[in-house]
Amino acid sequence: MTILPSSFACAVLFAMASVCTAEPIRIESGLIEGQQGPLLTVYRGIPFAMPPVGELRWRPPQASMPWRGIRKAEDFAPICPQSGASVPGAPAEPSSEDCLYLNIWTPARRPDAKLPVMVWIYGGGFTTGSASMPLYWGDRLALRGVLVVTISYRVGAFGFMAHPELSRESPDHVSGNYGLLDQIAALRWVQRNIGAFGGDPHRVTIFGQSAGSCSVCLLMSSPSAKGLFQRAIAESGAAFPPLAAVPGSDVLHLKGAEEKGLALQRKLGAASLADMRRMPAAEILKAAQDMPWMFLLDGRVIGREPYDVFSAGHQVDVPLLLGTNGDEGRPFLEGAVVTASNFRSDLSHTILANIPASVLAHYPSNTDDEAYASRAALERDVRFGWDAWTWAKLQSTTGKAAVYYYHFAHLPPAPAGSPWARWGAGHWAELPYVFGHPDQAPGAWTAQDRALSETLIGYWTNFAKNGNPNGPGLADWPVFTCAKPQVLHFDSAIHVGGVANLDKLEALDRYFTEVRKPRLAVK
């Protein structure tokens, strides 16, 4: 998908054709003024923490400093240092380590409006992402009576490097997960300040896609995030497979992550952590770009595997809306040659390396076409499908708050021959519909596409308002329970049905259960 530059301005909101400077409002750091249109006011580039540069590189976020006078919140801040884009075709944006900012779209005209708040956490595999790309602008959602916040967090080595020297610096003797700490700091800022923008700090919904959805899972698993949000929306991502089943999972534990930090130090030729802090960000980025970076079980932010947290009923127990797309796995095969002859051997080089024959029996590969379809289905189910199903089951079993489960299989009208046409209802496919920005992508977008976008916006914003997506003019979305596992399917028509690809998910579940048994026996 190529996001069209011409839509950059019109996507802000049709209601801001005439824009003026809003009256200054006071937040904890000082006075701030945004840009006001007839229906919405937008604030861009509000700092929620100190720039994580110099001695603050690889440290938890520190509270932003107050300013004198009036700060103009007219321009988006740079994105955090990264290589590539989190959504294919997204426009290039300037980057800087000075990136801990957030953006706000609000329809409120009074600070006592107490509107529900939706806080967006971007995806990008914890290595890329932007809080300011046009796709994520909150105008269309905000026009439904909610306040939208998009937050930035450190990614890649800047956000997730652990290191023995960093652990020794920490009073908790841990390191890494700075990106998650950024998310928590932003949510705390929202609690302290969002009332000035007309938001209700007691009705905060976190929502995210891919790594952002995984972040929602981790925040629901983290005691540090308790009380910071009251609802959660998760689109295509979580963290429930047993780590023992994940190749290279040693780096998801503190000791292994520290070893990876030392490996980065050696690549950089640095004598110490102090040397690494003095190096230009570009050097760090170049050396780290081929290394895997993501969250880890540090014993502080993430104390236990999310599966264990939810199984014990210790999660942040809030209403949950979650789901996946019908063709999630196809984008991950772009450029790959999958044939009947190489189907099994190629798995050894991927996150699917440990999948046993008992599971592969559900993914036949007798012909080249069959092998490709099965590989795409494996990528879909292992990366996303099983996670969502397991999350829904656990929350509906050990939690008291309701679960609403969706399956998005509607095919966006991508131009023939484009990667998006090959991907079908792939990863990212629901995003233009959720944010109401289908015109940012080329294609023959139809009245049906626009109606579906309005429907998703209605469900998402109703959920933010009430913890229930249902409302006037919308098809009934039933609660998911293990006794009655009902899913709302967004396809050529909207209908209620069962869990998609259930036989395959059940095969994966049996495998993951076996992997967990030795660990459970030790306990």
The one-letter code for the residue type at 219 is L
Q: How many CB atoms lie within 10 A of CB 272?
A: 10
Helical H segments across 430-489, by residue range: 431-435, 447-466
Tokens of 156: 């890649």
- Inter-residue contact 117 to 85 (CB < 8 Å): no
- Inter-residue contact 214 to 239 (CB < 8 Å): yes
Tokens of 336: 């790959």
Cα separation values, 207 from 163, 199, 300, Å: 30, 16, 23
Residue with tokens 């991927």: 350
- Residue 202 falls in the annotated catalytic set: no
Q: What is the C-alpha separation between 305 and 371, in angstroms, rounded?
A: 33
Torsion 269-273-275-280 (CA) sign = positive
- Residue 328 falls in the annotated catalytic set: yes
Q: What is the C-alpha separation between 111 and 195, in angstroms, rounded?
A: 6
User: 186-196: b or e for each residue (b if 16 or more CB lie within 10 Å)?
Assistant: bbbbbeebbbe
Helical H segments across 269-316, by residue range: 273-278, 281-288, 306-311
Residues 6 or more apart whose CB falls under 8 angstroms from that of 102 comprise 46, 48, 131, 149, 150, 151, 152, 186, 189
Q: Which stretch of DSSP H or E encloses residue 150?
A: strand 147-151
- Inter-residue contact 295 to 252 (CB < 8 Å): yes
User: 211-235: b or e for each residue (b if 16 or more CB lie within 10 Å)?
Assistant: bbbbbbbbbbbbebbeebbbbbbbb
Q: What is the C-alpha separation between 498 and 406, in angstroms, rounded?
A: 10
- Inter-residue contact 238 to 382 (CB < 8 Å): no
Q: Report residue 490: phi and psi, to 5°.
A: -100, 100
Strands 41-47 and 35-36: antiparallel
Q: Out of 328, 365, 410, 453, which one is annotated catalytic?
A: 328
- Inter-residue contact 338 to 370 (CB < 8 Å): no
- Residue 334 falls in the annotated catalytic set: no
- Alpha-carbon dihedral 130, 262, 177, 284, rounded to 10 degrees: -20
- Ordered strands of the 25-27 beta sheet: 25-27, 30-33, 70-72
Q: Out of 86, 132, 210, 365, which one is annotated catalytic?
A: 210
Q: Out of 427, 430, 437, 489, which one is annotated catalytic?
A: 427
List residues with catalytic annotation: 210, 328, 427
